[in-house]
Structure formats: C-alpha cells, structure tokens
C-alpha cells in the first residue's frame, strides 16, 4: 500500500516462539502468567512480597497496607528495570531473584512500617470444554503510531519505542531480530488443577499492580467489586498515583507521611489500567469488564463441570 515494508522484510520475521508460562502461587491456587520478555515475573514478585507481609499489613485498603503496597510496587519495578533479560539471546537465564520467596521475604521486612503507636487490549475467555485464554495485545502508545491501514482498517503499533537506543550492551537494544520488553502479564489461575480465573489488563507498567490489587480483593470481594475498587500505583521515582476521592483520607495521609509524592487522579482513572477477567464460580461463569475504559463482558451464564469448583 505504498509503505516502506516489503515482502522480503516480512519474510525475515522469525517464527513465533512458544514459551513455558511462568508459575506462581496465589494463596492455595496455582497461577500461570506471561514469561520474559513480558512482565509476569513482576506480578509473581508482587504476590510473593504481599504474602510475606505480616497479616495485619496485607489489607491494601488500610493506611499501613497501602503504604506497603506502594513500596512493593516500587521495588518490583526497580528490580525489573535493573534486570533486563532477553530470553532469545540468553534462553538459559532466569531471574531467580525476582521469583525467589526468600528475596520477597527480605523485601517485605524492609518495606513493613515501623510502628511507634499505553494503548493495550486484553481479552479473557473461558469455554464449555474447560479451556481458558488470557490474551494481551499492545500497540504501545494510545493510537500506536497514529497511522492506520486504509485497506485493512487497523492501527500500526509504535512498539519500537520500547527498545533501548543508547546502550548496545542492553538486552533490549534495537538490533536485527531483537524483541523489546513488554509490560503485559496475561494470567490464568488454577484451582484444583482446573482453570478458575483468567485475568489481564492494559496499562503499561501499571499492569502487574492492577492485576495484583484485583487478585488480593477477590479474597474478600465479588469479582465486580474487586475490579471496581480504587487503585494506587507507585512509579520508580516514588510517585504514588491514586484514585484519591475513593480512597480514605487516612490512607492518603499515610502514603504522604511515608515519603511518597501523591498524584491525585480521577475516581475511575484511565491511567490505572483496565482489568478484564472471567471466573468460574460454581455453576456460573462470571465476567467483569473494568469501568475505567471501554470493554464488555458477555457469554453463557452457566459454567461446565470441567471448570474449577467454587470454594
């Protein structure tokens, strides 16, 4: 169509690589998420840190719990930023530290307070045969490259902006056949060895924290309430974005007292991701679309026996 890409350019694209999913634990359930170069390891590290916190600090809706959540998100993003690994160049390398529960316990001890008194789309699907799919597709920035195919009607991505351009030794430096790192973390949780939950989100580096907060709230809340609940995010620089008007004042005060710069966002902020999930709940399939962006939940109302039972 007059563009710069030719057929021989497309012929050089390697065959898609099938990778083993990254395994983790969510309470008593087993979780599988996206391996490198995606951000599943960030989500697993966050879950490991959270489960290593004292029980009284695990409620993310309390002041101390919110401070611990922000510190955990910041540390996990620092770890990810400090440990870029290209699995195509070094398939034998795994990030043992980010996945190590002993390291998570160290982080949990460090972040526990001392007491003196982009544009991305996610699809979650379950079917009648017990199959589950969590699929995240990204064109990087909102509207990607801001150019669309007039014949095919889709937007071209600008994912080359995710490469490193300054350090030739960097695993994600732009080179032939290079793969950029990604923030996606599509995840499937198994209960009793059967799919129980498919979940994911757009939102760049906010993706793992958004999924984490929904997973944690699912322990006490309905799927809709867990997705609807207010969220926070902590940047590498220690700036906490918060849907402030929906968060108790004492929680916000505690974050500021802990040294975080507070960025107050709107009640249902586009910035905070858009979690899309489907869950097998007894004889029902429950789908939830995040109200923060466009999305919808649809499908049959009953779950087949092959799916995970409710607990």
Residue 83 belongs to a domain with what CATH number?
A: 3.60.20.40
**Is it the case that residue 171 has pLDDT exceeding 60?**
yes
> Which pLDDT score is estimated for 117?
40
Dump pLDDT digits (tens) for 54-70.
Answer: 888 999 999 999 999 99
> Which pLDDT score is estimated for 134?
94
Burial class (CB in 10 A: 0-12, 13-18, 19+), 81: exposed
% of the chain residues with pLDDT over 90? 50
Is residue 139 a contact partner of residue 86, using CB atoms and an 8 Å limit?
no
**Is it the case that residue 305 has pLDDT exceeding 60?**
no
Q: What pTM does this model have?
A: 0.74
Burial class (CB in 10 A: 0-12, 13-18, 19+), 15: exposed
The first and second tokens of residue 40, run together, are 């599943």
β-strands 132-138, 120-126 pairing = antiparallel
Q: If pLDDT is split at 50, 70 and 90, which confidence band does 47 have?
A: very high
Dump pLDDT digits (tens) for 205-241.
Answer: 999 999 999 999 999 999 999 999 999 999 999 999 9
Number of domains within the chain: 1
Is residue 263 a contact partner of residue 102, using CB atoms and an 8 Å limit?
no
**Is it the case that residue 8 has pLDDT exceeding 70?**
yes
Residue 250 lies in domain: 21-115+118-289
Asked whether residue 238 is domain-assigned, the answer is yes
Asked whether residue 308 is domain-assigned, the answer is no
Q: Which of 124-138, 195-209, 212-226, 265-279 has the lowest mean pLDDT?
A: 124-138
Higher pLDDT, 239 or 14: 239
> Which pLDDT score is estimated for 87?
74
Asked whether residue 178 is domain-assigned, the answer is yes
Asked whether residue 209 is domain-assigned, the answer is yes
> Which pLDDT score is estimated for 163?
86
Q: Look up tokens 């071209």; give the residue.
A: 156
Mean pLDDT of 143-159: 82
Dump pLDDT digits (tens) for 75-127.
Answer: 999 998 888 877 776 655 556 788 899 899 889 988 887 554 456 889 999 98
Asked whether residue 200 is domain-assigned, the answer is yes
**Is it the case that residue 133 has pLDDT exceeding 70?**
yes
Asked whether residue 204 is domain-assigned, the answer is yes
Asked whether residue 9 is domain-assigned, the answer is no
Asked whether residue 299 is domain-assigned, the answer is no
């Amino acid at each position: 169509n007059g563009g710069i890409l030719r057929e021989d350019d497309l012929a050089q694209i390697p065959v898609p690589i099938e990778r083993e999913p990254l395994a983790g634990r969510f309470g008593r359930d087993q979780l599988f998420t996206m391996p490198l170069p995606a951000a599943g390891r960030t989500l697993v590290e966050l879950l490991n840190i959270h489960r290593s916190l004292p029980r009284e600090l695990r409620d993310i809706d309390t002041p101390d719990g919110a401070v611990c959540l922000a510190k955990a998100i910041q540390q996990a993003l620092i770890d990810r930023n400090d440990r870029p690994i290209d699995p195509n160049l070094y398939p034998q390398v795994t990030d043992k530290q980010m996945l190590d529960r002993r390291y998570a316990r160290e982080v949990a001890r460090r972040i526990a307070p001392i007491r003196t008194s982009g544009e991305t789309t996610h699809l979650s699907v379950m079917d009648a045969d017990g199959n589950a799919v969590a699929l995240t597709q990204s064109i990087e920035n909102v509207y990607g490259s801001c150019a669309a195919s007039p014949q095919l009607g889709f937007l071209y991505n600008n994912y080359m902006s995710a490469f490193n351009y300054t350090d030739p030794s960097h695993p994600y430096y732009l080179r032939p056949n290079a793969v950029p790192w990604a923030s996606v973390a599509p995840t499937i949780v198994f209960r009793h060895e059967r799919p129980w939950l498919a979940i994911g989100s757009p939102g760049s580096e906010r993706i793992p924290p958004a999924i984490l907060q929904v997973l944690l709230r699912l322990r006490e809340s309905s799927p809709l309430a867990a997705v609807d609940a207010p969220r926070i995010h902590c940047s590498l620089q220690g700036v906490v974005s918060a849907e402030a008007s929906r968060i108790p004042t004492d929680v916000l005060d505690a974050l500021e007292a802990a040294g975080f710069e507070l960025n107050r966002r709107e009640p249902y902020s586009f910035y905070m991701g858009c979690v899309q999930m489907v869950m097998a709940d007894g004889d029902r399939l429950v789908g939830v679309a995040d109200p923060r962006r466009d999305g919808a939940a649809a499908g049959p109302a009953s779950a087949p026996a092959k799916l995970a039972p409710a607990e």
